[in-house]
């Protein structure tokens, strides 16, 4: 699996959660959930950039397989 595709999938999940749970936007658990998913997505995006330029596999798998 490609790191870039993984980062894009994380973004799609984040946006989907925001749309599905928009009625609960003011609640504390919603903010914690969205912040957690956002951190995972940002880490995946950063990992994608690092692999692109330096070939360091931060997500634990080889993107060519």
Tell me how far apart the alpha carbons of residues 36 and 33 are, in angstroms, rounded to a whole number: 5
Tell me how far apart the alpha carbons of residues 54 and 19 are, in angstroms, rounded to a whole number: 35
Phi, psi values for residue 28, rounded to 5°? -65, -45
Do the Cβ atoms of 1 and 17 come closer than 8 Å? Answer: no
Quick: pLDDT tens for 32-58. Answer: 999 999 999 999 888 888 877 777 777
* pTM passes above 0.85: no
For residue 54, what pLDDT is reported?
75
Tell me which residue of 18, 20, 10 sits closest to 44, measured CA to CA. Answer: 10
For residues 29 and 57, which has the higher predicted lDDT (pLDDT)? Answer: 29
């Amino acid at each position: 699996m490609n790191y870039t595709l993984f980062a894009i999938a994380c973004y799609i999940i984040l946006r989907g959660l925001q749309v599905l749970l928009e009625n609960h936007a003011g609640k504390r658990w919603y903010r914690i959930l969205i912040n957690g998913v956002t951190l995972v997505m940002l880490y995946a995006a950063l990992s994608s950039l690092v692999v692109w330029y330096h070939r360091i596999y931060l997500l634990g798998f080889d993107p060519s397989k």
